[in-house]
Amino acid sequence: MGQTIVTDGPVFPNLCVYLIDQNSERQNYLEHVIGFVEGDLRVVSELSEIEPPSQDEGTVCVALFLGIDMALDQQLEITRNLQEKFPGMPVFQLYDELSGLPEKLEGCDNLIGSIRIPSVYDDLMALIHKAQVYQELKTSDVQTTRPVELFRSLSGSSRATRRVNKMIEQVADSEATVLILGESGTGKEVVARKLHFHSVRRGKPFVPVNCGAIPADLLESELFGHEKGAFTGAISARQGRFEMAENGTLFLDEIGDMSMPMQVKLLRVLQERTFERVGSSKTMACNVRIIAATHRNLEEAIKNGDFREDLFYRLNVFPIEMPPLRDRVEDIPVLVNDLIHRIENEKRGSVRLTPAAIAALSHYRWPGNVRELANLIERLAILHPYGVVDVSDLPDKFRPLGDLHEMTQLPQVTIEGEEPGTTVNAPRLPNDGLDLKAHLNSLEQSLIQQALDESDGIVAHAAKRLHMRRTTLVEKLRKYGLQRQTESPGI
């Protein structure tokens, strides 16, 4: 039995689309499709006829479609003028089999795509959704309704994430030296910044230094500073990172890559809280909290003679181990959401992922951890601006290729309480099994986020789509740390 799609109302309520195209066949086609989702197609002949409806009408103008027969210079003029008159309204170019792909209009940021007429229904609906996302991001109040999570890598509700956040709460307001351990890309600097942010030193400098990125012969000068003439090229005195971080926090990243001679000098600073600039005999006192991090196994390095044991115990007063992303895949929906919000906040576009795409990401091993996930989301926002990304749109390595063929033959299950014949695909159990609780949490978060996106962040509407009480959905939003729009009383 195939999958049955059941809708409980218009997909795009209160939709209004403008069209400049005098071809009656294309007009009728678009009017039929837009009307199917209870939208309104308004055919105009020039820009002056475009007047967004008043708020009393309750409709939302989301796009302007430019016809096939229009000259390129005319399209360019209309698109640029529209950008000045209605900066939140995107433009799409129409084309057909005979005309071929239209030439892109240079310098028109509001031109965000083109579509073939006639087209597949799903493609046209994806385009409308893309227009809505674009318009939403251009409105003045979007930033107030979708705040960006400051410490993105620590978002989520997995047991591992909760444990890390609990440890941060316990040690943040102390003066204890913290050693953050974990693979590259897990967010060690994010933890360091959060420790600083929640400490009494919050208003003072946070100074990071990557010990592995600075040559060993320059690291001493970088940390402790130098006097004029201390070495060739030292044409003036210079502060080191310890001085820059006075009364604040010094974050020593990749401490495991530090040379043995520098380890001795750092140990002395930690013990005596004093140092000298290179080329100076003047001892300087320092008041700095030290947070260190490494992806290396320091205990193994001690056995191999590459790291001092006494320095290790000085640094390892309060260790925090960051879990790899593959061990907290249930956090991926929240992380994706936060990363998209960051892109939107920086006005670098947007993108949406279907629940199936997020589920596919949950099966990937993530050797690059959160950094790799952030890289992927930014790439998808460039490749599919304001679009909706499905499994087939993901780069090959993120797709469970062995399962894609099977997805067309998945067993069907009936949804209790729905109309007879309403079915959904039942996922197959991977050969190596899965963490059922983590998988179900990930799926639940994905569906909740999709419902919120499709309901413009209005919790009451999202709860209706999910067939649950509004109060239940609010509790789940708190549980998963998902963002929601502030609602007026009575909504």
Q: What is the pLDDT of residues 434-465, one digit of tens each?
A: 667 777 777 788 788 888 877 777 888 888 88
User: 260-272 vs 216-224: helix axis angle to the nearest 10?
Assistant: 20
Is 170 found in the same domain as 312? yes
Is 208 found in the same domain as 310? yes
Neighbouring C-beta atoms of residue 459, cutoff 10 Å: 20
- Alpha-carbon distances of 183 from 171, 173, 195, 260, 321, rounded to whole Å: 22, 26, 19, 22, 9
Domain membership of residue 28 (yes or no) is yes
pLDDT at 279: 87
pLDDT at 196: 94
Question: CATH code at 186?
Answer: 3.40.50.300
Residues ≥6 apart with Cβ < 8 Å to 218: none
Is 307 found in the same domain as 171? yes
Q: Cβ(381)–Cβ(349) under 8 Å?
A: yes
DSSP state of 153: G
Percent of the chain's residues with pLDDT above 70: 78
**What is the phi/psi pair of residue 66, to 5°?**
-100, 130
Query: Which string of b and e fits 394-419 if b means at least 16 CB within 10 Å?
Result: beeebbbeebeeeeeeeeeeeeeeee
Q: Which domain holds residue 214?
A: 159-226+239-323
Residues ≥6 apart with Cβ < 8 Å to 9: none
Domain membership of residue 418 (yes or no) is no
pLDDT at 344: 82
Q: Cβ(209)–Cβ(250) under 8 Å?
A: yes
Q: Based on the structure, what is the number of domains in the chain? A: 4
Rg (CA), the chain: 28
Is 466 found in the same domain as 373? no
pLDDT at 217: 82
The residue whose two tokens read 């967010």 is: 187
Domain membership of residue 266 (yes or no) is yes
The residues of the chain scoring below 50 in pLDDT are 1-11, 55-56, 140-151, 403-426, 486-491
Angle at 245 between CA 301 and CA 189, to 5 degrees: 50
Question: CATH code at 46?
Answer: 3.40.50.2300
Both structure tokens of 118? 């006639």
Considering the entire predicted model, what is its pTM?
0.60
pLDDT at 441: 77
Q: Cβ(82)–Cβ(52) under 8 Å?
A: no
